[in-house]
């Protein structure tokens, strides 16, 4: 059911594993896991697409941890990272990618 999500999770967590600063790496992993769990409950309660919500959760702060960008830019930059990866991996339709990246940009 969530095979595509698992592939995205493997990618994102793999990128976080490369973070040299151990404290930042731990923050990236724990924060992302917490948001992922929270969005699972929210998506299920609201009846929204669980897989898309969970993929958005994986990327929602991605640029903040990978690029160390200013907080004011992290949502936009994270959505761009997600767009690039989701297009390249070929697992998602354009409409799904649009939904996911929109959620990331707006969070």
Domains in the chain, number = 1
d(CA 48, CA 13): 24
Q: What is the CATH number of the domain that holds 33?
A: 1.10.3210.10
Q: What pLDDT is recorded for position 36?
A: 98
Instruction: Write out the residue range of the structural domain in which residue 26 sits.
Output: 3-106
Mean pLDDT, rounded, of the chain = 96
Q: How many CB atoms lie within 10 A of CB 20?
A: 6
Q: For residue range 35-85, what is the model confidence (pLDDT) as tens digits?
A: 999 999 999 999 999 999 999 999 999 999 999 888 889 999 999 999 999
Which tokens go with 45?
């309660």
DSSP state of 92: S
């Amino acid at each position: 059911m969530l095979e595509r999500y698992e592939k995205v999770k493997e990618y994102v967590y793999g990128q976080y594993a490369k973070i040299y600063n151990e404290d930042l790496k731990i923050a990236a992993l724990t924060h992302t896991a917490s948001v992922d769990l929270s969005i699972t409950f929210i998506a299920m309660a609201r009846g929204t697409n669980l897989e898309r919500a969970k993929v958005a959760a994986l990327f929602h702060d991605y640029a903040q941890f990978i690029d160390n960008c200013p907080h004011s830019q992290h949502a936009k930059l994270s959505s761009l990272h997600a767009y690039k990866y989701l297009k390249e991996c070929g697992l998602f339709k354009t409409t799904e990618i649009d939904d996911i990246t929109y959620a990331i940009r707006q969070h």
